[in-house]
Structure 1
């Protein structure tokens, strides 16, 4: 669909000049000699952009702009002014005009301003359509996507949410496993009761036991009073056990009992307590392999894996990136009160060439960063990290005889570190461990390559 432009000017030469310019560049163009004519054209053919001279008979540019702003707020206005009336043009912008053009007219400048506004309006329409899609069918609660794998996932979640069955969510870091668990809870009969999330990987065994089951006063050093655990806090609702594959054999046995009997004792207590909770667990580990190796109990696995839910990584649903980007732009634009209207199509194309090892969380983080740092209404390639925008070229660093060997090696090392950081949610200590590098050496390399 062509962008429609209305040109309003009482000078025929200016009208003809701009009419020819826009027609040659693929725009649908209308012309009017004054404000009265312009309003008649607007009523019949509402344009996307109006370019109006400031001084005209019958109805001047400012008066015309006031009417258009009130009755047709979707029309973007550009004012034409002579040097002597530039203050008036600035006043027009305060009232809502998008830009102004100084006389004598320069065709390249006019075309550039119109193209910028035209692209912005296209992005606004596209984002509006994306938001409509989000509100209609391409989501389940706050989970977003139209990829066939996601549509299958929505159907499964709709079926299992109303039940009390135990669910095991499988997926890589950053795919939104907790979001899915919360969505299941919100669509269940337990929705008015607590949803309690516990990351089992971040606590030592003794601390995790106390966190889950609570403790009584004097149970251990520092236990100065009775403290209920997360299972009691979730009574009547849902408990989400993230990173379940990382718990110790002893904790696996205690958890198995809760799954079988829905009962437990606080640490240091003999009183058995009953709870009514739905258990949803999640992991990014290969539990089948862990069972073969003897590090995960078979009986616990089968108790947890009543309803298996597999979340696809972002690299397997790249067609969802436009929807996700639109969602995150709307989210962070509101949070930071910045008028970001959209993102260049080229950004989306480049994002769809990247592997996204950090999945949705990585995408969300780069959108947040781009919005915080952007000074424009449209996000461009320059707002995003090079390792994402140039993913193809970085997959194979060119090895040529005109580059020193150390330079090529450094480039490889930098890309490996960037990918490892993304996979570990920018946790530097964990990344250093994964790469087998001492922490101080790793920090030196980050400084060397200018990685924050």
Structure 2
């Protein structure tokens, strides 16, 4: 359980201590009293760092300035807000960095509501301080695989740190490719169930008639083809975490059965009579708007509230483009461990990537990093080396590519590759129409699969063709589902 930050009262006026003590005791908040001499001479480790959220600063009998007192507090309790007890005339003359930390004034005697209001101000003051400290330490051990120093990613890590010690259900929302499973694995790895299994299942990738068996298992002879008993994901996840990816794709009939398990923590295999305990934590994820689905009647409201005990929303990559250089370093580092060569990026190339809309989010960036590592091993990538759809800024030094372009124009291989991305008019020398159309088709199929994480059915919907047609085209081009 997370320890509550303490309140610190520094005051030489003993007559109002009982009033303050009674108010804070009623709130149930831990607190410490100090006289000014005792405080200035103290070195109490229990009050260091973020262990103090608010300092109530009374009047001092010492000939010491308010600025000196606040500098001392800033050193010992850097994230604590300060509220003065009665008026300190020196507040208006303080430097800006100290004045911002004085969030209010309490006139004694004060009401319960006035104290509550000051506690709320202190909470809001300390929140950005903690976020800034996390930004200065992006490679901290906690959630180190969640790369990014943007404000949105700091908020994600902050939310995760608040729920790691709680054995409650979590719902992770966000567009496809934003890293929802990475968050789920981190939540498991830092939870009380970290020594248990982490069992993922993609509810959208399994046919509806097979999903029940995948989740709950079945006994031999329960249905045609059940030649032996089989454990389901709930059994496999005992003592650990069950990750329900794309829970928004779960059919209504299965939603009812999942709700029963979450409520009663018990289930049976298909065709079985033995009741099994569900000692698991459920983390669900979806790219869909479940609240809209509830209004449409395609998702159960009671299941939504069972899953959404603690929500975490993953930001799309286009809203945190400042993280792209860090993400590329991480992705290329992983590729290097797999035997790929390293790649460096010109600043202009990074600026171009920051201007890309990233419909496939981090997964699209990962695919690009792998492609560039293959094309330019141990090389440097500028704007012109990026695939055409990632070129959003002008090449800053086109002269260096002049000779290269002449060579490419004379190459018989270039026609199909270049024309796959851009062709305003028919070249004078003509072109291989079949190769041109196939290159375009392959490129569009690759993009649609990247956007939908390799889910063929959704990629087919995006391309407005039948799933079987897309499967045939993928087989034709030797493309595999990832």
TM-score, length of structure 1 as denominator length: 0.61
CA 1:354 to 1:207, structure 2 compared with 1: closer, same or farther past 3 Å?
same
Of 345, 364, 379, 1:343 maps to 345
**For each residue in 1:154-174, what CA deviation from the matched residue of structure 2 results, as whole angstroms up to 9, or x when unmatched?**
111001011011111001110
**1:334 CA displacement:** 2.5
Indicate the SS of the match to 2:311: strand
**1:343 CA displacement:** 1.8
Cross-structure match for 2:203: 200
Indicate the SS of the match to 1:145: coil
Asked whether the equivalents of residues 244 and 282 of structure 1 are also in contact (C-alpha less than 8 Å), the reply is yes
Cross-structure match for 2:388: 386
Does the alignment pair 1:281 with 2:313? no
Kindly report which structure 2 residues correspond to 1:179-194, keeping only aligned pairs within 5 A, or say none.
Answer: 179-194=182-197
Does the alignment pair 1:175 with 2:203? no
**1:379 CA displacement:** 3.4
Cross-structure match for 1:361: 363
Gaps of 5+ in 1: 1-131
Cross-structure match for 1:113: none
Indicate the SS of the match to 2:338: helix
Q: Distance in 2 between matches of 1:414 and 1:195?
A: 36
Asked whether the equivalents of residues 353 and 391 of structure 2 are also in contact (C-alpha less than 8 Å), the reply is yes
Does the alignment pair 1:319 with 2:322? yes
Indicate the SS of the match to 1:215: coil
Of 462, 466, 471, 1:434 maps to 462
Indicate the SS of the match to 2:212: helix
Cross-structure match for 2:93: none
Q: Distance in 2 between matches of 1:209 and 1:168?
A: 21
Q: Which moved more, 1:290-299 or 1:219-228?
A: 219-228
Asked whether the equivalents of residues 138 and 149 of structure 2 are also in contact (C-alpha less than 8 Å), the reply is no
Does the alignment pair 1:292 with 2:288? no
Cross-structure match for 1:423: 451
**For each residue in 1:245-274, what CA deviation from the matched residue of structure 2 results, as whole angstroms up to 9, or x when unmatched?**
111111000000111011101011121111
**1:439 CA displacement:** 6.2
Asked whether the equivalents of residues 242 and 281 of structure 1 are also in contact (C-alpha less than 8 Å), the reply is yes
Does the alignment pair 1:372 with 2:400? no
**1:400 CA displacement:** 9.2
Q: Which moved more, 1:425-434 or 1:370-379?
A: 425-434
Q: Distance in 2 between matches of 1:170 and 1:227?
A: 31
CA 1:364 to 1:199, structure 2 compared with 1: closer, same or farther past 3 Å?
same
Cross-structure match for 1:42: none
Q: Distance in 1 between matches of 2:319 and 2:198?
A: 29
Indicate the SS of the match to 2:139: helix
Q: CA RMSD of the aligned region, Å?
A: 3.5
Q: Distance in 2 between matches of 1:155 and 1:388?
A: 32
**For each residue in 1:381-420, what CA deviation from the matched residue of structure 2 results, as whole angstroms up to 9, or x when unmatched?**
4543211124899xxx9999999xxx9xx99999977754
**1:235 CA displacement:** 0.6
Q: Which moved more, 1:346-355 or 1:379-388?
A: 379-388
Asked whether the equivalents of residues 346 and 381 of structure 1 are also in contact (C-alpha less than 8 Å), the reply is yes
Q: Distance in 1 between matches of 2:356 and 2:473?
A: 23
Q: Distance in 2 between matches of 1:391 and 1:439?
A: 36
Indicate the SS of the match to 2:199: strand
Q: Distance in 2 between matches of 1:400 and 1:237?
A: 56
Q: Distance in 2 between matches of 1:200 and 1:444?
A: 24
Q: Distance in 1 between matches of 2:168 and 2:358?
A: 32
Indicate the SS of the match to 1:227: coil
Aligned length: 312
Asked whether the equivalents of residues 205 and 455 of structure 2 are also in contact (C-alpha less than 8 Å), the reply is no
**For each residue in 1:317-376, what CA deviation from the matched residue of structure 2 results, as whole angstroms up to 9, or x when unmatched?**
0010010011111111221152x2522212211100100000001101110111122243
Kindly report which structure 2 residues correspond to 1:242-253, keeping only aligned pairs within 5 A, or say none.
Answer: 242-253=245-256
Q: Distance in 1 between matches of 2:340 and 2:288?
A: 39
Of 153, 159, 163, 2:162 maps to 159
Cross-structure match for 1:268: 271
Q: Distance in 2 between matches of 1:443 and 1:193?
A: 37
Q: Distance in 2 between matches of 1:143 and 1:280?
A: 17
**1:430 CA displacement:** 3.4
Gaps of 5+ in 2: 1-135, 396-420, 428-432
Asked whether the equivalents of residues 387 and 415 of structure 1 are also in contact (C-alpha less than 8 Å), the reply is no
Kindly report which structure 2 residues correspond to 1:125-140, keeping only aligned pairs within 5 A, or say none.
Answer: 134-136=138-140, 140=143
